[in-house]
Amino acid sequence: MTAITHHIPENLMIAYAAGNLPQAYALVAAAHISLCLECRTALEAHQAVGGVVLESAVACHVSAGLKSETLALLDAPARNEPVFRRAGVYPGPVMQALKGGPPRWKSLGLGVRQCILSESAQGSVRLLYIPPGQAVPDHGHNGLELTLVLQGSFSDDTGRFGTGDLEVADQMLEHTPVADPGAPCICLAATDAPLRFNSLVPRLLQPLFRI
Ligand code: ZN
Ligand code: ZN
């Protein structure tokens, strides 16, 4: 893998460390952290700070027994603790979401495929498979979109994203990601609201494909 250059922004890392990220984003964050030493170190620092703050806060207000129980809980593996292993293309947290099986791809046309891992009113998370040179239709975002590259790379209006890189797109960004030449680009993408497609055809297909 080439060096990771796009990381989890500080505000998302704080929310993740506190367990406050919606599940779809938390999966993308966990998958990035499982691939990225820099963000793993940052997460550990945030978790340590959280523990210290609690340690000094609980000292004045609660009994010693409750305090040690609370701190013991903090030392136990967190529910969203990433699994630091990688089986081929899919990092541990993605393998867990796939329940160990291969992705069940559904065609979106033009060789683009998706596999929805989870979907709820709070957001959805999916794998996307984009053949080299193929574009994901030009779109804007109603909410926040996190995209983690698991294989290959893509480029859009903001730059190039290689394997392990995380792109954070919000309402301000309209972009047309295009898979670079080479291996097909496989991404893990989480959104909290439907994407806004700018051309009519994808907009018509949107309900069908649940993008
Ligand atoms: Zn990182
Ligand atoms: Zn997007």
For residue 115, give the CATH number of its domain: 2.60.120.10
Q: Which domain holds residue 168?
A: 101-209
Mean pLDDT of the region 83-90: 63
Residues 116-127: pLDDT tens digits?
999 887 788 999
Q: Considering every ligand atom, which ligand is closest to the CA of 138?
A: 2
Please say if the pLDDT value at position 115 is more than 80. Answer: yes
Q: What is the DSSP string of 157-174?
A: TTEEE-TT-EEEE-TT--
How many Å lie between the centroid of ligand 1 and the Cα of residue 20?
19
How many Å lie between the centroid of ligand 2 and the Cα of residue 145?
6
Q: Considering every ligand atom, which ligand is closest to the CA of 187?
A: 2
HEC string of 54-91 equals HHHHHHHHCCHHHHHHHHHHHHCCCCCCCCCCEECCEE
Kindly state whether residue 35 falls inside one of the protein's structural domains.
no
Question: Could you give the number of structural domains in the chain?
Answer: 1
Question: Would you state the pLDDT for residue 82?
Answer: 43
User: What DSSP state is assigned to residue 198?
Assistant: S
Kindly state whether residue 198 falls inside one of the protein's structural domains.
yes
Please say if the pLDDT value at position 5 is more than 80. Answer: yes
Question: Would you state the pLDDT for residue 125?
Answer: 93
Q: Give the span between the Cα atoms of 11 and 27, in whole angstroms.
A: 16
Kindly state whether residue 121 falls inside one of the protein's structural domains.
yes
Kindly state whether residue 11 falls inside one of the protein's structural domains.
no
Kindly state whether residue 164 falls inside one of the protein's structural domains.
yes
Question: What is the DSSP pairing of strand 185-191 with strand 195-197?
Answer: unpaired
Please say if the pLDDT value at position 78 is more than 50. Answer: no
Kindly state whether residue 173 falls inside one of the protein's structural domains.
yes
With beta carbons less than 8 A apart as the criterion, state whether 39 and 6 touch. no
Q: Considering every ligand atom, which ligand is closest to the CA of 35?
A: 1
Kindly state whether residue 38 falls inside one of the protein's structural domains.
no
Residues 17-66: pLDDT tens digits?
999 998 999 999 999 999 999 999 999 998 887 766 656 555 455 555 55
Kindly state whether residue 80 falls inside one of the protein's structural domains.
no
Encoded amino acid at 157, one letter: D
